Chains A and B, each alone.
Chain A
Amino acid sequence: MTEDNTAPIIEFSNVAKRFGPLTVLDDFNFTVRKGEKVTLIGPSGSGKSTVLRILMTLEPFQDGRLTLSGMSYHEPNGKGPFKASERHLRQIRTHVGMVFQSFNLFPHMTVLRNVVEAPLRVLGIARAEAECRALQLLDMVGLADKKDFYPSQLSGGQQQRVAIARALAMRPRVLLFDEPTSALDPQLVGEVLSVIRGLAHEHDLTMLLVTHEMRFAREVSDRVCFFDKGRICEQGAPDEIFGAPREARTREFLSSVLA
């Protein structure tokens, strides 16, 4: 449920992303409104993860314009592949968080330190406050009792839940999920999805989710975007995309993954 008339928080206009001779995103246009929950689906190599990685400033892009809360990713006189200074990129990153396919927790830190470290060092929050908030988040993902464990002592599902708490501890406005359940054993997928489902009710949090869990996408998203060959081939409300897809490519893809 989103306010339809708010300004977009994310706006890609005519963005092109190439890896050498390979074009991943081509004349790409995409807008997301504040608080919207958008799921990106499509065959592998269609550019869905690249969209998230560009938003997280993990990948530069070549042409076009991208803004987040009105801030442009490229600076007018920006140099280097990102066409922006590190200072500017860090400014953008304060608004975005990301949950990775393979969790990427810091193995040398306990669960609590994983969640506390960035608020403490980057945001400069006092330790007592940061730990109190971290424990609330760990409690929310159901892992407060594991706070003194190391990631290697947790299951994949537990690690991913910690990773979600860690991303939320930075209070992002936009949270990106890059195939958060693809690296998990099937019986561990549910616990991670239920945490994400809980976040879907957070009114102010904008969520972009790349996933292959189609039933889940249908259930939590406000909008589903079907990607094909570096473009959004079709997008709409979940019931439209899953119930009555207009494009042949969408039907083909859905029948292959839902079969």
Chain B
Amino acid sequence: MDWTAYLPMLWQGAFVTMTITLASIAVGAVLAFVFGIMRVEGGPILSTIALCYTEVFRGTSLLVQLFWFYYALPLVGLSFDPITTGILVLAAHAGGYGAEIVRGALSSVSTQQLEAARALNFSRLQTLFRVSLPQAIVEMMPAFGNLAIETLKLSSLVSLISIADLTFAAQSIRNITLDSTSIYSITLLCYFAMSLVLMVAIRVVERLVRRGQAFPQMPRS
């Protein structure tokens, strides 16, 4: 069997991987902002909830989280289809790390900026959305880029809850053909190509939040 014969199956798997990754990044970004903002601005109760969320999802194994949501949760009566489970767990995982990025960037906004906002009589929410976040988001972008690529690579774990993603497809073909070398080489290249596309997309977003001339120097790290 010629290696080009693997491509249609791998392509199908790659499509599933892309779907899951992009959906997880989108949902994860929302979670990251919600919980990150809660950490900084939420007051004692909300920030403790956000702290628990980030620590649970950062402090436990992603694979076990997947198994828990896929095998254990249905036993208490809540079940989703595998794809939804995969997206939710990956998103929650990315959201946990993302919330820390958001928290860090928000707390790095200088007090001078906050004092200027106060002197102009901005409300707390106006200060957050008009002064802090637009500056913090520039600081977040490099870390968010890493997290997006990390999410792509971690998405291969969803093959273990029976989702036919790229890794799953590679495993299936290998089980039939035993041609490990070419299959895994092609698979690695596929992941690499996808992460390249992600990196370019992140650069574009980064340029947008930098607003051209506003932040000419690299942000302080």
Contacts and interface: CB of A to CB of B under 8 A. Distances in A.
Interface of A: 56-58, 86, 90, 93-94, 96-98, 100, 102, 104-109, 117-118, 121-122, 149-150, 152-153, 166-167, 170
Contact of B115 (A100, A105, A149, A170): A100
Contact of A122 (B113, B115, B121, B217): B121
Interface residues of B, number: 23
Contact of A117 (B130, B211, B215): B130
A120 B126 CA distance: 11
B116 A100 contact: yes
Interface string B96-136: 00000000000000001101101111111010001100110
B131 A118 contact: no
Nearest to B137: A108
B216 interface: yes
Contact of A118 (B120, B214, B216): B120
Given A56-B118, A56-B119, A93-B118, 11 more contacts: A57-B118, A58-B118, A98-B119, A100-B116, A104-B116, A105-B116, A106-B113, A108-B215, A122-B121, A150-B211, A170-B120
A122 B122 contact: yes
B119 A107 contact: no
A167 B130 contact: no
A94 B131 CA distance: 19
11 contacts: A58-B115, A90-B121, A93-B118, A100-B115, A104-B115, A106-B131, A108-B134, A109-B214, A121-B122, A152-B215, A152-B217
A150 B119 contact: no
Contacts of B214: 107-109, 150, 152
Contacts of A152: 213-217
A121 B211 CA distance: 21
Nearest to A163: B116
A208 B119 CA distance: 15
Nearest to B216: A152
A106 B118 CA distance: 12
Most chain B C-beta atoms within 10 Å of own C-beta, residue among A94, A104, A117, A167:
A104
Interface of B: 112-113, 115-116, 118-124, 126, 130-131, 134-135, 138, 211, 213-217
A118 B112 contact: no
A118 B121 contact: yes
Contacts of A96: 119
A153 B213 contact: yes
Given A56-B119, A94-B121, A108 B112 contact: no
A121 B129 CA distance: 12
Contacts of A58: 115, 118-119
Contacts of A86: 124
Contact of A121 (B115, B130, B135): B130
Residue from A56, A108, A117 having most chain B Cβ neighbours under 10 A: A108
Contacts of A108: 134-135, 138, 211, 214-215
| The 6 A-B residue pairs with the shortest CB-CB distance in the complex, in nearest-first order | A104-B116, A118-B120, A98-B119, A93-B121, A150-B214, A108-B134
A152 B131 CA distance: 16
A198 to B, nearest CB: 21
Contact of B120 (A122, A149, A153): A122
Contacts of B215: 107-108, 152
Contacts of A57: 118
